[in-house]
Amino acid sequence: MDGSIVVVRSAAPEDVAFLQQKRVLSPEILLRKISQDEILILSVDGDPIGQLWFAFLWSEIPFIDLIYIKEDYQNQGLSHVLLGHLEDDLHERGYTVLYSSSQMDEPAPQAWHRHMGFTECGVINCLNEGGIGEVFFRKSR
């Protein structure tokens, strides 16, 4: 990424087409998440290449819904930039813990969580289609 300009910003309505490449939601829900600043966009030299969606469980516990970096940009440390931006923002607002999850049958995302400093904190069995469980992760700051 030498010489490239990397920017993390809140998603805007004009990002809808990029956001729906990875996750399709109704326009109403997507625009609500955008208006509540619950989606971040990562761009390199002005091109959007990553997205991070988050929410607040029980209206108070930050939880990552989705993190995605385009394949050509993976393994370059950009997920550190995107996650770090979210963590800094949450820390400034007084949050000290961030949660996330991965399906039990997804070893690569689980390894990513551990690599990023998350620790496993629980499992809900049969949460997903086909009876696949979900592994939950926690990261403290």
The mean pLDDT value of the chain amounts to 95
**Would the pLDDT of 1 be above 80?**
no
How many angstroms separate the CA atoms of 120 and 107, rounded? 13
Residue percentage of the chain with pLDDT more than 70: 99
pLDDT tens, residue by residue, 96-139: 999 999 999 999 999 999 999 999 999 999 999 999 999 999 99
Per-domain residue ranges of the chain: 1-57+66-77
Could you give the residue ranges of the DSSP H alpha helices within the chain? 16-19, 27-35, 78-92, 107-115
What was the pLDDT predicted at 9? Answer: 98
How many angstroms separate the CA atoms of 67 and 83, rounded? 9
**Cα dihedral across residues 19, 20, 24, 26: positive or negative:** positive
What are the CA-CA distances from residue 59 to residues 37, 51, 54, 62 (Å)?
A: 14, 22, 12, 8
What was the pLDDT predicted at 3? Answer: 85
Hunting for tokens 């949450």 — which residue is that? 90
With cut-offs at 50, 70 and 90, classify the pLDDT of residue 37: very high
Superfamily, domain 1-57+66-77: Gcn5-related N-acetyltransferase (GNAT) (3.40.630.30)
